[in-house]
Structure 1
Amino acid sequence: MNDDLLSRHRSVLPDWLALYYDEPLEITHGEGRHVWDSRGNRYLDFFGGILTTMTAHALPEVTKAVTEQAGRILHSSTLYLNRPMVDLAERIAKLSGIPDARVFFTTSGTEANDTALLLATTYRRSNTILAMRNSYHGRSFSSVGITGNRGWSPTSLSPLQTLYVHGGVRTRGPFADLDDYDFVAACVDDLTDLLGHTRPPAALIAEPIQGVGGFTSPPDGLYAAFREVLHERGVLWIADEVQTGWGRTGEHFWGWQAHGRSGPPDMLTFAKGIGNGMSIGGVVARAEIMNCLDANSISTFGGTQITMAAGLANLNYALEHDLQGNARRVGGLLIERLRAAAAQVPAVREVRGRGLMIGIELSRPGTDEADPAAASAVLEAARRGGLLIGKGGGHDTSALRVAPPLSLNVAEAEEGAAILEDALRSIQ
């Protein structure tokens, strides 16, 4: 049955629509932190549909909210008042930390970043964007144009002039050997020098932790230091929180808060986890920025009632059950367990991350040379052991990505770590 589905997939869908595994699997249903494939195999899910199943599979509170809303109305567009959309917007505006915040809902993180770019370039009257090396911001024409990861940049054409800044990757690049203080200072000096050679940019867009890039991040405080330089010149700061939002990092509700000494960003974008699988994205911005457009704009599917009902139920569950605290506690145990296991595997270059957002970078033993084949081998071995994880990285996809639902318990963390340890040992 799977072979037939794979053949049909390949005959009708694009060649560049990637599938994991030598024998791709079809996930048919899930519950809690587990999913099942079409052959009845059960897996512990440590990737959550690319960090999207944030709380749990088949969470009763979300399922009930979706079912009840489906019995009333699914959709009406933004041309009509929409109570669930207003309810969720009020919650997110307050949680964002941005003063006088306005919220615009989209259907994805890509569309959210597109909207942020439209707002920034219109507000600043500049099409120059600063972005981080190794970054990923989506698959649309404009978001590909600001993506600094070559594996996800199919074209160099862009409506934007993009300048790439150092700092998103702590352990690679020209400043890797510096201590944290000097690393931040060198990156700030580089940014300041760059700004002296270009017309004033519209904005810097940055992921507090780079998702597709392999869960890399700078020292805490880097983006606050950048913000001080940018603020002097009127340049906006956009925090791409598509993967880092909603408490996943454990220590903070938003990733930007690790860099918060200069206050919140001018805009933040979100998506993925808030819908727990439903298609929700959005932008939060100060009113003067959000309201700068002087032409009509709507969203046919952004903020539709059924997705907003899911988002409200999911956010309520995450807050009421302190899933941020759980990510901090269980994630801390998981990362230490993985570091202990990785210490015995020469192919592991680094285990990094925070909360339930953990990256394991693989390289050829004794070198810094990326080893994507090893990453693929571990991915396959983990699946055979009953664990689903992801891949990423800016060096030929040589990093494993571990991002379970935030309700993960200690026993499941131990089970997943044991499977992953065996998978890592299998490549030696």
Structure 2
Amino acid sequence: MTDDLLARHRAVMPGWMPIYYGEEAIEIVSGSGRRVSDASGRTYLDFFGGVLTNMIGYDVAEINEAVQRQLATGVVHTSTLYLIREQVELAEKIARVSGIPDARVFLTNSGTEANETALLMATNVRRSNQILAIKNGYHGRTFATMAITGHRSWSSSSLSPLNVSWLASGDRLRGRMAGMSAGDIAEAAVDDLREVLATVTAGDVAALIAEPIQGVGGFVAAPDGVLGAYQKVLNEFGILLIADEVQTGWGRTGEHFWGYQAHGVTPDLITFAKGIGNGFALGGVVGRASVMNAVPAISFSTFGGNPLSAAAGNAVLDYVLSHDLQANAARVGSILLDGLRALDLPILAEVRGKGLMIGLEFVRPGTTEPDAAATVRVFDECKRGGLLVGKGGLYGNVIRIGPALTLTEDEAREGLAILVDALNLVDAEARIG
């Protein structure tokens, strides 16, 4: 049945849509807690959560009940041309936790759409289509968001409605920042920003958009404080700061509720999505009222923040706060990070991340040369061991770990054991090879 579904998928879906595990692709048909089952009946511990989206896990009573209550009204959609109580309540909560005074919220269907909206607002405020973006970043798959995506594998077109200037990433293994200390990276980053502003822009730049931790880029992050150092320079020119928190928000890093808070800044705009819907299509922008209100024409979202997804979002955010999932991410994430950092394997160049956002970068032993093949082997061995993880990185050589924030300590140790077995096996193969 799975093979037939794979063939049907290939026959009707575009070829550029990736699907994990190739000929052994799985169909996930049920889930509970942090576990999912495929069509053959095999159960897996899920350490990727639908790309960091199933943030509370599967089959969560509080979310199910909120959605069922809304379904029982018979109203799934009305559009934002009418008052939507669930949307207003969710926006109020997001504004309160955003850290932005007098915030306004606009709800969308996805992170891509959220980033498009933030770009619309920033370019209107500044009357400029010039944007600063960071190499190795990812912000979406639409025309403008591809233009600010500094990751070759995800850039499907060189055409752009924006004039984009690029800043160096915080990658400490290779590139401009390789081998630098945290302090030196911060200094180099500021020098890079000033050089870019002085040389390749017309001066009236609209905004810098940055992920506090680069998601698709393989969970690469500049040292804490770099966004703060950037903002001091940005403020000299009136340039806005957009924090793309699609993957880092809602307490996932453990240290803070938002990734930007590690940097001592207050963004003008924050974009969010993924986890806030726990699988329901929901994203948005929260920001300063003066920026959010800058759109000079009528605009709205037909489906964004509809009664059903907003009901789910309210239940998700209530659950995150009432169960202090940020603290759980810090506690349980430390089990994984400590266990992985204790390994001394030539194929494993770096274990990085915060909380329940962890990246493992693979190289050819004795070098910094990316080893995508070893990454795929670890990826496949994890699946054979009953663990689902993600992949990413500029060179396809990073395992991405982003479990539900409800992950228990026992589940963390269980997943860690499977990971360690896979890593040791693939490392041994590399030594022999």
Q: TM-score range by the shorter chain?
A: over 0.9
Q: Which residue identity lines up with residue 242 of structure 1 in the other structure? A: V
SS in 1 for 2:26: coil
**Structure 1 counterpart of 2:216:** 212
**Structure 2 counterpart of 1:362:** 362
Q: Which residue identity lines up with residue 39 of structure 1 in the other structure? A: S
Alignment of 1:322-333 (within 5 A): 322-333=324-335
Q: Confirm or deny: 8 A CA contact 1:167 1:184 kept in the other structure.
A: no
Q: Partners in 1 of 2:169 and 2:101 — Cα distance?
A: 27
**Structure 1 counterpart of 2:410:** 411
SS in 2 for 1:325: helix
Q: Confirm or deny: 8 A CA contact 2:172 2:180 kept in the other structure.
A: no
Q: Which residue identity lines up with residue 336 of structure 1 in the other structure? A: D
Q: What are the ranges of 5 or more consecutive residues in structure 2 without an aligned counterpart? A: 429-433
SS in 1 for 2:249: coil
Q: Work out whether 1:402 is the aligned partner of 2:401.
A: yes
Alignment of 1:74-223 (within 5 A): 74-197=76-199, 198-199=201-202, 200-223=204-227
Cα deviation code 1:289-321 (max 9, x no counterpart): 111111111100001000000010111111111
Single out whichever of 282-291 and 238-247 deviates more from structure 2: 282-291
Q: Partners in 1 of 2:161 and 2:179 — Cα distance?
A: 36
**Structure 1 counterpart of 2:389:** 389
TM-score by length of 1: 0.98
Q: Partners in 2 of 1:75 and 1:155 — Cα distance?
A: 34
Cα deviation code 1:52-92 (max 9, x no counterpart): 00011111100111111111111100000010000000000
Q: Partners in 2 of 1:177 and 1:425 — Cα distance?
A: 26
TM-score by length of 2: 0.97
Report how far residue 183 of structure 1 moved: 1.3
Report how far residue 333 of structure 1 moved: 1.3
Percent of pairs with identical residues: 57
**Structure 2 counterpart of 1:302:** 304
Report how far residue 50 of structure 1 moved: 0.1
Report how far residue 172 of structure 1 moved: 2.4
**Structure 2 counterpart of 1:11:** 11
Q: Confirm or deny: 8 A CA contact 2:31 2:58 kept in the other structure.
A: yes
Q: Work out whether 1:238 is the aligned partner of 2:242.
A: yes
Q: Confirm or deny: 8 A CA contact 1:170 1:219 kept in the other structure.
A: no
**Structure 2 counterpart of 1:62:** 63
Report how far residue 284 of structure 1 moved: 0.7
Q: Partners in 1 of 2:217 and 2:21 — Cα distance?
A: 20
SS in 1 for 2:54: coil
Q: Confirm or deny: 8 A CA contact 1:330 1:409 kept in the other structure.
A: yes
Q: Partners in 2 of 1:312 and 1:330 — Cα distance?
A: 25
Give the aligned length.
Answer: 423
SS in 1 for 2:396: coil
Cα deviation code 1:133-172 (max 9, x no counterpart): 1000000011000000111111111111111101432332
Q: Which residue identity lines up with residue 152 of structure 1 in the other structure? A: W
Report how far residue 425 of structure 1 moved: 1.6
Q: Which residue identity lines up with residue 283 of structure 2 in the other structure? A: G
**Structure 1 counterpart of 2:431:** none
SS in 2 for 1:196: helix
Q: Confirm or deny: 8 A CA contact 2:170 2:177 kept in the other structure.
A: no
Report how far residue 99 of structure 1 moved: 1.3
Q: Partners in 2 of 1:133 and 1:177 — Cα distance?
A: 17
